[in-house]
Chain A
Amino acid sequence: MTHPPSGPALTGAVTAIRELFSAAATSFARTTEDGEHLVFVAADGAGADRIVGVELPVGRGIAGFAAMSGQSIAVADVQRDPRFARDVAESTEYVPRTILAAPVFADGDVAGVLSVLDPAVDASSGWTLSVLGTLGTLVAALMQAPEPAPVSPASPDVQDLDLSAALEALSSRGPQARRLARDVLGAVTQFLDESDR
């Protein structure tokens, strides 16, 4: 299954994190609505263009471990880990040696996983997981921020607006967008009711 890439803010965040850790690559995988998969929505560095859009069952790989346990982990040599998702790494044409993975929380739930591949910084003090966990909260904030509205080339004719299609599209973008859709629908209904009086 393929998914659209994330917005520029998330991509900018994983780029900044890659540079901070002097890492070969970074990625952010978002939990799907049913809670059973992780889908990579932003990445930077080696294999980035190939990993974005890839969807994995929650139990797979080091990222899956962080998602399930809600705990950060660093694995010094993932190639010794028999559950390492080697096939996924090979499909990106970059197979890392070291992976850091931290869960990202939104509204108390695990909403995704932030991964850093082959950081060049010294991870032996354990500070890297602290920093990555902290950065995960910033990614969560970006994740929950609404995407900017597309700029229309010209003011559309009211007759061309398809409200139900717009609300349906909004509803597919997660709980926050669904709440927004309900609010919009409520406002329209209230406006119509008041107009009829």
Chain B
Amino acid sequence: MSELPQWSADFADDRLGEVVALPLPDVREWAFGGGTGAGVRVAVIDSGVDATHPAVGSVAGWATVVDDPEEPTGHRVVEEPHEDLVGHGTACAGIIRSMAPDVEIVSVQVLGANLRTRGTRFVEGLHWAVDHGVHTANLSLSSRSDQLYAPLHEVCSAAYFAGIPLICAANNVPGPTYPAVYPSVISVAARPGADPWALACNPRPPVEFGAAGIDVEVPWANGGSIVGTGNSFSAAFVTGMVAVLLGKHPWVTPFQVKAVLQAVSDNAVVPA
């Protein structure tokens, strides 16, 4: 098992183990009970979102990162509606909506039809989200480029200090992937189970949390749905939880969010 990517082995029932959490009474009810995500703006940084999909409901804001060699960064942001290029952003937005029905979804399209500039588009889109008033963001995408380590680290730190929790999908490939390995973000992988509110905290980071994401039915492009497996979907379930938490307690900071997520985890125990 040691040859497998760490997240896979770590969330197996016989390996997960316990984590000692802060002794917060009734923390799950306090965090999520009766919450709808009202007043929370959630950025879905992805392939775009299909606003006409019934599982998405509506999209409150749009940003499309396009290539522009005239700009210093090589990109500019167009704040106009777009389509979902592959259905993936729609899946994540639909999951978040199913958890937090009253959130405002902001679609930031960074995945485009050219792979050569995908990394820098990603950085640009994340900067846009941090600078445009979102309260949390879902990042079900990742990069392995060492050239992007510093730019992504910088913007993730900026989000952390601005009080914006970033929820990132871990990757299934050996070696570091960014931004999931940064301590400033909340990294998530899939674990077995159908309960969308179930969570496990990994005592062996960098992947910190495990959530539903194996054989889950998710909305997809053109009004359809698929049964899919992927860490992408797990991250969206956790983003939904964070949106509900922030809707109930807007003052909660990213490091407090981690403490709450740990305390509500299935494998959390309180100190004796």
- Name A residues whose Cβ lies closer than 8 Å to a Cβ of B: 31, 34-36, 57-59, 64-65, 67-78, 80-83, 102-103, 105, 107-110, 123-127, 129-134, 136-137
- Within the complex, the shortest CB–CB distance from A106 to chain B, in Å, comes to 9
Find the residue from B3, B7, B232 having the highest chain A CB count within 10 A: B232
If the complex has contacts A124-B215, A127-B4, A130-B4, are A73 and B114 also in contact, measured as CB distance less than 8 A?
Answer: no
For residue B101, CB closer than 8 A to chain A, the reply is no
Q: 23 interchain pairs (CB within 8 A)? A: A31-B115, A36-B115, A59-B113, A65-B47, A68-B118, A69-B47, A69-B232, A70-B171, A71-B169, A74-B230, A82-B221, A82-B222, A102-B172, A108-B144, A109-B145, A110-B115, A124-B192, A125-B192, A129-B230, A133-B5, A133-B171, A133-B173, A134-B3
With a CB–CB cut-off of 8 A, which chain B residues contact A102?
A: 172-173
With a CB–CB cut-off of 8 A, which chain A residues contact B165?
A: none
* A58 pairs with B114, CB closer than 8 A: yes
Please classify the interface of chain A as helix (H, G, I), strand (E, B), loop, or mixed, using the class held by over half of its residues: mixed
* A108 pairs with B146, CB closer than 8 A: yes
Partner of A71, one of B87, B114, B171: B171
Query: Whole-angstrom distance between the alpha carbons of A121 and B183 in the complex?
Result: 35
With a CB–CB cut-off of 8 A, which chain A residues contact B140?
A: 69, 71
For residue B209, CB closer than 8 A to chain A, the reply is no
A-B pairs, 6 with minimum CB distance: A108-B145, A35-B116, A133-B172, A130-B8, A82-B222, A74-B229
B61-105 residues with Cβ-Cβ distance < 8 A to A are 85-88
Query: Whole-angstrom distance between the alpha carbons of A133 and B4 in the complex?
Result: 9
* A124 pairs with B214, CB closer than 8 A: yes
Partner of B226, one of A36, A77, A131: A77
Q: How large is the interface on B (under 10, 10 to 19, 20 to 34, 35 or more residues)?
A: 35 or more
Give the nearest-CB partner of B11 in chain A. Answer: A126
- Within the complex, the shortest CB–CB distance from A21 to chain B, in Å, comes to 14
For residue B265, CB closer than 8 A to chain A, the reply is no
Query: Whole-angstrom distance between the alpha carbons of A127 and B172 in the complex?
Result: 10
Query: Whole-angstrom distance between the alpha carbons of A78 and B4 in the complex?
Result: 27
Query: Whole-angstrom distance between the alpha carbons of A21 and B222 in the complex?
Result: 31
For residue B253, CB closer than 8 A to chain A, the reply is no
B108-126 residues with Cβ-Cβ distance < 8 A to A are 111-119
With a CB–CB cut-off of 8 A, which chain A residues contact B118?
A: 68, 70, 110
* A68 pairs with B172, CB closer than 8 A: no
For residue B136, CB closer than 8 A to chain A, the reply is no
Partner of B214, one of A110, A125, A132: A125
* B141 pairs with A72, CB closer than 8 A: no
* A68 pairs with B86, CB closer than 8 A: yes
Give the nearest-CB partner of A38 in chain B. Answer: B115
Known: A75-B229, A82-B221, A123-B215. 17 other contacts (CB 8 A): A34-B114, A35-B115, A35-B117, A59-B85, A65-B47, A65-B87, A68-B47, A69-B46, A70-B177, A72-B231, A80-B224, A83-B87, A102-B173, A126-B213, A127-B8, A129-B172, A137-B174
